[in-house]
Structure 1
Amino acid sequence: MILQKISVWGIIDVVLLVILLAIVGNQLYLWQKGRRVAKIVENDEFQKGMHRGQLIDLREKDSFNAGHIMGARNVPFGQFRVMKNSIRKDMPVYLYDQGKSLSTRIAIKLHKDGYKDIYILKSGFERWNGRVKKSK
């Protein structure tokens, strides 16, 4: 009986380890792929270039309304497929979300669809130090 319990816990440990490795592997893949399809930039460089392109906030509407980068347009991650056609291919695209993971995923999708000039805010809105606007 004790041997059976040990083997069950051993199997659970192996399964959890495999799941953890899969999550880490996926994050590394996204990080590497994101660096190939988009330029990940700090606040200063993002702020300098965002005025010559399309500034897209990928957070949900409630987060956007609570505060967003001045001049940003809200294209929530969950509605991206429907709203993607409103993003022009002939202009640079500046993406941000709370961190950077959603922006990386969207940058990969945009690149597959032929977008070439894509920028991601490195630390996301969470650490943005520029002007912010709150919606009503």
Structure 2
Amino acid sequence: MKNITANELEQTLEQNPTTQLIDVRETDEYAAGHIKQAKNLPLSELTERTHELEATRPLHVICLSGGRSMNASMYLEQAGFDVTNVDGGMMSWQGDITE
């Protein structure tokens, strides 16, 4: 499984604003503040909603600290996705957030 830091993710999003990014925190956590490009797909719903993701494009996964996104990344990698986990999650994110 690939990993990047929150700073590396910020650089990736600056270079390619259409990067596929999912935030696997619960809906209330996401609503309190998230990265603009992130789609909310809570870990608790991931298996039922995997079909919503574009399997042909690389996928970045973020959560609060990196634990849930690591679990989601392992699942998605086994499902055939090109996935990268964001180490440190939103706790390490220094960029803008949207509510």
Give me the whole-angstrom Cα distance separating, in 2, the residues matched to 1:102 and 1:63: 13
Q: Please state if 1:67 is matched with 2:67.
A: no
Deviation per residue, 1:11-55 (Å, 9 max, x gap): xxxxxxxxxxxxxxxxxxxxxxxxxx2x21112211122434211
Equivalent pair of 2:64/2:91 in contact (CA under 8 Å): yes
**Would you identify which runs of 4 or more consecutive aligned residues in structure 1 move more than 6 Å?**
none
Equivalent pair of 1:70/1:133 in contact (CA under 8 Å): yes
Normalising by structure 2, we get a TM-score of 0.89
Q: Please state if 1:96 is matched with 2:87.
A: no
Aligned residues: 96
Specify every segment of 5 or more residues in structure 2 that has no aligned partner in the other structure, as ranges: none
Equivalent pair of 2:33/2:98 in contact (CA under 8 Å): yes
Specify every segment of 5 or more residues in structure 1 that has no aligned partner in the other structure, as ranges: 1-36
Give me the whole-angstrom Cα distance separating, in 1, the residues matched to 2:80 and 2:37: 24
Deviation per residue, 1:42-101 (Å, 9 max, x gap): 122111224342110000000100000111110001111111111111111111001111
The share of aligned pairs that are identical, in percent, is 24
Pick from 11, 25, 44 the counterpart of residue 48 of structure 1: 11
Look at both structures and tell me which one has the larger radius of gyration over its CA atoms: 1
Normalising by structure 1, we get a TM-score of 0.66
Q: Please state if 1:129 is matched with 2:81.
A: no
Matching residue of 1:84: 50
Q: Please state if 1:119 is matched with 2:84.
A: yes
Give me the whole-angstrom Cα distance separating, in 2, the residues matched to 1:97 and 1:67: 11
Give me the whole-angstrom Cα distance separating, in 2, the residues matched to 1:76 and 1:69: 15
State the AA in 2 paired with 1:43.
A
Give me the whole-angstrom Cα distance separating, in 1, the residues matched to 2:11 and 2:58: 13
